[in-house]
A and B are shown apart, each in its own frame.
Chain A
Amino acid sequence: MSQSAPIPCDEVVGDDALLVLFANGDRWAAQELTRRLAPRTFAVAVRVLGDRAEAEDVTQEAMMRLWKMAPDWQQGQAQVSSWLYRVAMNLCLDRKRRSRGGTVGLDQVPDPQDPKPGVLEQIQQSARWDALQAGLMRLPDRQRQAVVLRHIEELSNPEIAVIMDISVEAVESLTARGKRALAQALAGQREALGYGDD
């Protein structure tokens, strides 16, 4: 198994080149791909599933599929990150379908990690976080995915279209309807969220 020296700059080696290195047994490539891709996959999965434990499982499974696909990866066929998001989103959909009718672990959504807010501000931020997550969880699965990918991950509509395997117009429609529904859901909570004081 080969061991190459770490290359300091992210831009020097693209994700697809790292996959080739990984397939050839390079351990550093495994570490680097994990560092680049796993955190965002986990963050999206948490938002889409509303459950950290399930998001961990989805992230691990999605990364496992990435490793298994590496030997067959053809450079230039797609962005590795888009491919991984797509796998993760499909895994999330599968889980939501399986657990339809079950309870959603909203209480497992993490608290904000701002290091220095005052107590009141911290509670308010936590309430805002929970309110956003609760609003997201009320959206249909595909709307929630589109909104998270567009407005929290800040991906472009064409990239989201690839990830969700739909047209750009469908992405625009999903995100617009999702935002409207979220705004309505949050409108009744303005005071509780502290926007009345702003």
Chain B
Amino acid sequence: MAMTERDKANDELETLFAQARAQRPGIPDGLTDRILADALAFQEAQTAPKPAGETHTGSGTDRVGIRGVFGSVFGGWPALGGMVAAALVGVWIGAAPPAFVPDAAQILSEADADLDVFDAIDLASLLTEDTQ
């Protein structure tokens, strides 16, 4: 009769569940008040005017300052810091390259002095050759 006992236990459990459903603990008034206070405070913070100088890209809840847009596009302030550092290093290498990096300024000036292959060619003479 193990099956009967199990059925009885299940029936009793179902009765307990039914009672629990019928006797849900009521929400305290104070809690409802606190939840509503949170909600209204959040709404006010969302709809309050932003400080002067901050640009808005939309209205209502879709307002994001230009710094927010800039930050979100580039990955926030840490990423921006990395980009600025990389740019400064690039400028420095361009201005004062280490020994193992070719000096672009020197190469250009040499090209101007020694490798100016077009200097001796007259464009007019080339055109004349084509028509001959």
Question: Chain A residues in contact with chain B, CB under 8 A?
Answer: 1, 22-25, 27, 30-31, 33-34, 38-40, 42-43, 46-47, 52, 55-56, 59-60, 63-64, 67-68, 70-71, 109-110, 112-114, 125, 128-129, 131-132, 151-152, 154, 179, 182-184, 186-187, 190, 193, 195
Q: In the complex, are the beta carbons of B61 and A23 less than 8 A apart?
A: yes
Chain B residue with the shortest CB-CB distance to A109: B25
The contact of A39 among B12, B26, B40, B42, by CB within 8 Å, is B26
The contact of B12 among A33, A152, A154, A195, by CB within 8 Å, is A195
Interface Cβ pair total, 8 Å cutoff: 112
Tell me how far the C-beta of B18 lies from the nearest C-beta in chain A, rounded to whole angstroms: 9
Q: Which residues of B contact A40 (CB under 8 A)?
A: 24
Q: In the complex, are the beta carbons of A23 and B46 less than 8 A apart?
A: yes
A-side binding surface: helix, strand, loop or mixed? helix
Q: Which residues of B contact A27 (CB under 8 A)?
A: 40, 43
Question: Chain B residues in contact with chain A, CB under 8 A?
Answer: 5-6, 9-10, 12-13, 16-17, 19-21, 23-28, 31-32, 34-36, 38-40, 42-44, 46-47, 60-62
The contact of A22 among B28, B34, B39, by CB within 8 Å, is B39
Chain B residue with the shortest CB-CB distance to A153: B21
Q: Which residues of A contact B35 (CB under 8 A)?
A: 34, 38, 59-60, 63-64
